[in-house]
Amino acid sequence: MFEKLMRIDRRIIFIFVGLAVIVPTLFPSNLPINVPEPTRQLYDYIDALPTGATIIIAFDYGPSSFAEPQPMAEAVMKHCFDKKVRVIGINLFAETTTLADKLMQKVAKEKGAVDGEDYVFLGYRPGALQVIIGMGTEIASIFDSDYAGNPLAEIPMMENITNYEQISLLLDLAASSTVEAWITYANTKYGLQIGAGVTGVIVSQMYPYLQTGQLVGLMPGFLGAAGYEKLIETSAEGTAGINTESFVHLLIVGLVVLGNIAFFIQQRREE
């Protein structure tokens, strides 16, 4: 048995992994979720904002990595619309534009938020650093209209918003190094408060910014998305994602343990 276990066909392992993904997806289970403290800090910061405050959400991820940041964006927007906090959406990558626009419209429809009054999606402009720095001086100098083509001067919620001084928080949902760019050029230069939600592979490089206070909060991967959903008392893609991820991790750990047990037993028999 142990010899067969040592020589197991990798395709069988792939089948097990596939089942570990498919079964929890088709039959969701409610595993306990511990909210990460950085995620709670981000929630508390947004929850303390006054009615009528404005935040910017930067959708800085692409179609290949949207599975983790997308649930974060949805959860935060639901929280903001419930709190009557206004949301400005932008993105530094052209390929994210349609994803972000559709998501904002979906959540707004669910929460009864009005385009131009409760939220606005400005879309994409080329030159990431120029966009970040230019918005600190005057947002209209970078975005003269929203994604739908409406002039910024004609959008009600933008009437008294000139630059970062009227923005309470920039939340960067990222799959690359854009968080560092926002910190360097918006937080350091203009004093804009920054929060982040990032994919699991880049979480570790965010913690130093938490320790220095350059990030007010952080959502780490599916765990951050699921934790935020728990705080707003809803269950959506973040919760489903962390449940599936947990089953896959348990399977991998189990296979590693079995493989090591089989290896040491076989080694003893050969001795």
Is the per-residue pLDDT at 244 higher than 80?
no
The pTM for the full model equals 0.84
Strand ranges in 27-128 using DSSP code E only, listed in sequence order:
54-60, 86-91, 119-124
Per residue in 124-157, is it b (16+ CB within 10 Å) or e — as a string? bbeebeebbbbbbeebbebbeebbeeeebeebeb
In the numeric block, the tokens 């009005």 are attached to: 114
Q: Read off the pLDDT band of 150 (50, 70, 90).
A: very high
In CATH, which superfamily holds the domain spanning 32-234?
A: NAD(P)-binding Rossmann-like Domain (3.40.50.720)
Is the per-residue pLDDT at 30 higher than 80?
no
d(CA 240, CA 61): 20
In the numeric block, the tokens 């929060």 are attached to: 195
pLDDT digits (tens, 9 = 90+) for 123-143: 999 999 999 999 999 999 999
As to burial, measured by CB atoms within 10 angstroms (0-12 exposed, 13-18 middle, 19+ buried), residue 63 is exposed
pLDDT digits (tens, 9 = 90+) for 197-219: 999 889 999 999 999 999 999 99
Measured in degrees and rounded to the nearest 5, phi and psi for residue 64 equal: -75, -15
Per residue in 20-42, is it b (16+ CB within 10 Å) or e — as a string? beeebeeeeeeeebebbebbbbb
User: Is the distance from CB of 83 to CB of 68 less than 8 angstroms?
Assistant: no
Give the residue, 261 or 87, on which the prediction is more confident: 87
User: Is the distance from CB of 54 to CB of 90 less than 8 angstroms?
Assistant: no
- Mean of per-residue pLDDT scores for the chain: 90
SS3 168: coil
In the numeric block, the tokens 């990032």 are attached to: 198
User: Is the distance from CB of 186 to CB of 217 less than 8 angstroms?
Assistant: no
The full length of the chain comes to: 271
| Lookup: tokens for 120 | 């606005």
How many C-beta atoms lie closer than 10 Å to residue 249's C-beta? 11
Q: Read off the pLDDT band of 1 (50, 70, 90).
A: low
